[in-house]
């Protein structure tokens, strides 16, 4: 009976979360021959102020990107946002585009 617990920074749509649950559920069935009724998937959305990497929360990185961009949204701010994975306002957006994990620790199994 696989229990898959996913922690992900908040900000995804209900449709994205549903697609995540569906994909993870399907992979569990296919890779470990789990019966569909025995697969449990838990998605925990973590507020940006409660998710930190490198001793900076997602909220702090986003605020830093906003203040660096200035009122006109200059290139320095957008570069920092992209580097921090916040290019489109979602944590991990840069990782998504690069094919990496959307959130640090998302693939960890706790």
The class level of CATH for 3-98 reads: alpha beta
Q: 0.85 cut: is pTM over it?
A: no
What are the extents of the domains in the chain?
A: 3-98
pLDDT digits (tens, 9 = 90+) for 35-88: 999 999 999 999 999 999 999 999 999 999 887 766 554 444 443 343 344 444
Mean pLDDT lowest for which of 2-6, 7-11, 56-60, 99-103? 99-103
> Residue 58: CB partners within 8 Å, gap ≥ 6?
9, 48, 49, 51, 52, 86, 91
Question: Rounded distance, CA 93 to CA 84, Å?
Answer: 9
Question: Rounded distance, CA 40 to CA 32, Å?
Answer: 13
């Amino acid at each position: 009976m696989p229990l898959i617990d996913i922690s992900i920074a908040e900000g995804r749509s209900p449709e994205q979360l549903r697609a995540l649950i569906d994909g993870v559920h399907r992979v569990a069935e296919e890779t470990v021959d789990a019966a569909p009724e025995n697969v449990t998937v838990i998605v925990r959305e973590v507020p940006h102020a409660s998710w930190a990497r490198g001793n900076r929360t997602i909220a702090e990185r986003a605020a830093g990107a906003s203040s660096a961009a200035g009122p006109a949204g200059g290139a320095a701010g957008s570069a920092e946002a992209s580097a921090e994975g916040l290019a489109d306002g979602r944590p991990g957006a840069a990782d998504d585009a690069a094919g990496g994990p959307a959130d640090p620790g998302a693939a960890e199994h706790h």
